[in-house]
Chain A
Amino acid sequence: MIVHLASSDLWSQLFNFSNYGELLALVKNSIFAGAVLGIIGGLIGVFVMQRDMAFAVHGISELSFAGASAALLFGVNVVVGSLGGSLLAAILIGLLGSRARDRNSIIAVLMPFGLGLGILFLALYPGRSANKFGLLTGQIVSVDDPQLGWLMAISVIVLIGLLVMWRPLSFDSLDADVAAARGIPVRFISLAFMILLGLAVAVSIQIVGALLVLSLLVTPAAAAMRVSSSPFVVPLLSVVFALVSVVGGILLALGGALPISPYVTTISFLIYLVCRLAGTRKATGGARQRLDRQLALKA
C-alpha cells in the first residue's frame, strides 16, 4: 500500500500559512500556555537531569494521562483529572523511591498500569476520538479560557516553588549527604520537588500529550547542559530552548491539520542535535585542559 500524496499536498499539510493572522488570534491562548510551559519545563528540566529522573517524568505522565482520560469519561475538568493523576504518581514515587533503583522499579510498575487505565477510560468514552488521541499525543489547538486559567495558576506555583528552593534543591541534587549534614531538609526537598514535577507534567500533557512530555521536560535541559556548565546559563538556555520548541511548534502547526506535537518534538530534537555537536568540541577542550593541569602538577 502506497499512500499517493503529491509532495506539494504533503507540504501544504505540514505547513500552510494562509489566513495566518486570523488563525493566530484563535490560538492566542495556546501560545500563551505554551510560553509559560516553556519557562517551567526548561527550568525544572535542569533538575530532572541532575537528579536523573527522566524515567520518573515518563512514569508520572502516564498516570497523569489516566487521570485525564478518567476526567474526560466522567465529564469533569480534564486539567483537574491529569493533575490528580500526576500528583498521585509523583507523591508515590517520591515516598517509595528515595533510592534510584527502587524508584525505577516503582515507576516501571506504575507506568503500564496507568497507561492501561487510561486506555480503558478512553475506550469507554463515547465522545470525539480526536479528544482521546489528543491526551496521548497533544492537542491540535484549543486551550479555552478556564483551562488557560488552570495552566497559568499551576505554572506560577511551579515557578515560585522552584525559585524559592533553588539553592537547597541544587545542593540536594549534587550531594544529598552533604546537604543533609548542612541542615537542609532533604526529605522535604525531594518530596516538594516531586510535587512540582507532577504539576509541571500535568501542564505539559495539555499541550504536547502524555507520550511526548519528555521533549519539554528533558530535551531542552539536556541540550543546554551540553553547551554550558554555568548554573546561570544552563537554566537560561534550557528555558530559551523549551520556549522556542513549544511556541515555534505551535506557530508552525497552525496552518496544517496536524497535531502540534511533532513540530514541538522535532524542533526540540534539532536543538539538542546542534548543542550536542557544539558540545563535543567543548568536551574535548575540557579533556585537554584536564591533561594540561595534570602535566602542570607533575612538572
Chain B
Amino acid sequence: MKQDVGTMTRADASAATGHVSREEPLQLKPAPSEGPVVLSLTNANLGFGQRTLWHDLTLDVHAGEFLAVLGPNGSGKTSLLKTILGQQQLDAGSISFDGHPVRRGDRRIGYIPQQRIIPQGTPMRARDMIALGVNGHRWGLPISRREDRRQVDELIDAVGARRYATVPVGNLSGGEQQRLRVGQALAGDPRLLLCDEPLLSLDLQHQRGVSELIDRRRREQDSAVIFVTHDVNPVLGMVDRVLYLAGGQFREGTPDEVLRSDVLTDLYGTPVDVIRSGGRIVVVGIPDSETHQHHAETHQHSAESAPHSEPKA
C-alpha cells in the first residue's frame, strides 16, 4: 500500500521536472519548481578546521517544494539546517531566505526537531506546548491574548491533537508529542519548514501521520519543506528533489536522478549499489567511516550505542 504510493508520486515528482506523468491527472497548480524561490544558497562553503562539509553548494528551494537532504553521519546535514536558521555562519558564499540574508529567529521558518521523549510530570498540557510556538518568544507576564488562544485552537485542529489537547505532554506517546512539535512549528505561518529527522524513533503509523501533516502543509499553504533524514523511504512519495551530501561533495536532483548506483558511486568514490525493491530504496556499500566501523564492532554488545557515537555535524 505504502509502496504503491511511493512509486506513484515519484512519477508525479518527475512530472515537476518536465516528464509526462502517467498515473496522475495534470494539476492546475504550477509545479513547485516554477514557484517563487524561498531559500537560495549560492556557492556556499562550510567546514570545520581542515574538514570541508560542503563547498560550492548552490541551491534554490521553491515554495511548495519538498527537498530531502540525505547523507551519512557527519556530512553536514544538520549544519545546513543550522546555517539556514542563522545559527551557523558560512565560510564563503551567500544564503538568503525570501530575498534577504538569513537571520536568527525568523518566525517564517518553522523547525521540527528529532523526537525526544518529554519527561513525565512536565507541567504542560498539549495545548500549552503548542501555545509556546505562538507566544513562547514573548517577554513579559505570561498572559495569553484571545487572539493567541484562537490561533492555538486552529493549530490543535491542524495537527489533529484535539482529542488529547488537555492531556499532560509527559503522558503522550512519542508520535503524539511529535505532532505537537509540528503544531509548534506551524505557528506563525512558516514559508519554510526545516525538519531534522522528525520521524526518528517513531513507529510506522506515526511516521506516516507526521510526514503527512508536513506534506499537507506544503500542498495547501505552499510552504517549502527541507527534510533531513537518514532514510528516504517513509517520505519517498512526497519528495520532489534530493540533496545528497557525502565526503565534502553533493549531488542534487530528483530521486530518480540522484538515488542511482552510478551517481552515488561517483559521489562516494567507491562502488555503491542502489537497490530498488517494491518502491523502497536501499543503499548498499556506503564506505565505512570511523563511526560505521565502531557500529559494526559494538553492534553485538549494544544496539543502543549508535546514537551516542554519532558525530553532530
The size bracket of the interface on B is: 35 or more
Q: Report yes or no: A180 in contact with B125, Cβ–Cβ below 8 A.
A: no
B135-165 to A contact mask, C-beta < 8 Å, 1/0: 1111111100000000000000000000110
Q: Report yes or no: B171 in contact with A168, Cβ–Cβ below 8 A.
A: no
Contacts known (A181-B109, A294-B173); A168 close to B123, Cβ less than 8 A: no
How far is the CB of B224 from the nearest CB of chain A, in Å? 16
Q: Report yes or no: A180 in contact with B87, Cβ–Cβ below 8 A.
A: yes
Q: Report yes or no: B124 in contact with A174, Cβ–Cβ below 8 A.
A: yes
Q: Report yes or no: A170 in contact with B132, Cβ–Cβ below 8 A.
A: yes
Q: Report yes or no: A166 in contact with B125, Cβ–Cβ below 8 A.
A: no
The size bracket of the interface on A is: 35 or more
Q: Report yes or no: B173 in contact with A229, Cβ–Cβ below 8 A.
A: no
A174 touches which of B105, B129, B167, B185 (Cβ 8 Å): B129
Give the chain A neighbours of B129 by CB distance below 8 A. 174
A175, A224, A229, A234: most-surrounded residue (chain B CB, <10 A): A229
Interface membership of A164, Cβ < 8 A = yes
Contacts known (A168-B139, A170-B136, A183-B104); A178 close to B122, Cβ less than 8 A: no
Whole-angstrom distance between the alpha carbons of A131 and B5 in the complex?
Answer: 76
Q: Report yes or no: A184 in contact with B141, Cβ–Cβ below 8 A.
A: no
How far is the CB of B189 from the nearest CB of chain A, in Å? 14
How far is the CB of B86 from the nearest CB of chain A, in Å? 9
B113, B116, B139: most-surrounded residue (chain A CB, <10 A): B139
Q: Report yes or no: B194 in contact with A231, Cβ–Cβ below 8 A.
A: no
Q: Report yes or no: A182 in contact with B171, Cβ–Cβ below 8 A.
A: no
Give the chain A neighbours of B47 by CB distance below 8 A. none
How far is the CB of A84 from the nearest CB of chain B, in Å? 28
Restricting to A202-224, which residues have a CB under 8 Å from any CB of B? 224
Q: Report yes or no: A182 in contact with B194, Cβ–Cβ below 8 A.
A: no
Give the chain B neighbours of A168 by CB distance below 8 A. 136-139
Whole-angstrom distance between the alpha carbons of A287 and B171 in the complex?
Answer: 7
Q: Report yes or no: A290 in contact with B171, Cβ–Cβ below 8 A.
A: yes
Interface membership of A201, Cβ < 8 A = no
Give the chain B neighbours of A19 by CB distance below 8 A. none
Whole-angstrom distance between the alpha carbons of A296 and B107 in the complex?
Answer: 35
A176-204 to B contact mask, C-beta < 8 Å, 1/0: 01111111100000000000000000000
A225 touches which of B123, B172, B194 (Cβ 8 Å): B123
A225-253 to B contact mask, C-beta < 8 Å, 1/0: 11011110011000000000000000000
Q: Report yes or no: A167 in contact with B136, Cβ–Cβ below 8 A.
A: yes
Restricting to A37-75, which residues have a CB under 8 Å from any CB of B? 46, 49-50
Q: Report yes or no: A290 in contact with B107, Cβ–Cβ below 8 A.
A: no
B105, B169, B170: most-surrounded residue (chain A CB, <10 A): B105
Q: Report yes or no: B136 in contact with A229, Cβ–Cβ below 8 A.
A: no
Give the chain A neighbours of B227 by CB distance below 8 A. none
Contacts known (A229-B170, A231-B128); A50 close to B123, Cβ less than 8 A: yes
Give the chain B neighbours of A228 by CB distance below 8 A. 123
Q: Report yes or no: A163 in contact with B137, Cβ–Cβ below 8 A.
A: no
How far is the CB of B147 from the nearest CB of chain A, in Å? 15
Give the chain B neighbours of A49 by CB distance below 8 A. 121
Q: Report yes or no: A230 in contact with B171, Cβ–Cβ below 8 A.
A: no
A233: nearest residue on chain B (CB-CB)?
B123
Give the chain B neighbours of A184 by CB distance below 8 A. 105, 136-137
Whole-angstrom distance between the alpha carbons of A287 and B169 in the complex?
Answer: 12
Interface membership of B181, Cβ < 8 A = yes
How far is the CB of A40 from the nearest CB of chain B, in Å? 16
Interface membership of B168, Cβ < 8 A = yes
How far is the CB of B54 from the nearest CB of chain A, in Å? 21
Contacts known (A183-B104, A229-B168, A290-B171); A167 close to B137, Cβ less than 8 A: yes
Restricting to B214-268, which residues have a CB under 8 Å from any CB of A? none
Q: Report yes or no: B105 in contact with A230, Cβ–Cβ below 8 A.
A: no
B137 touches which of A182, A229, A294 (Cβ 8 Å): A182
5 closest A-B pairs by beta carbon, nearest first, are A183-B105, A229-B168, A181-B111, A171-B136, A234-B123
> Could you list some 16 contacts between A and B, CB below 8 A?
A50-B122, A166-B141, A168-B138, A171-B132, A174-B122, A175-B113, A178-B111, A178-B185, A182-B111, A183-B107, A184-B136, A229-B168, A286-B171, A289-B167, A290-B172, A296-B163
Additional A-B contacts beyond A166-B142, A174-B129, A230-B128 (5; CB < 8 A): A170-B136, A178-B185, A181-B109, A182-B137, A229-B125
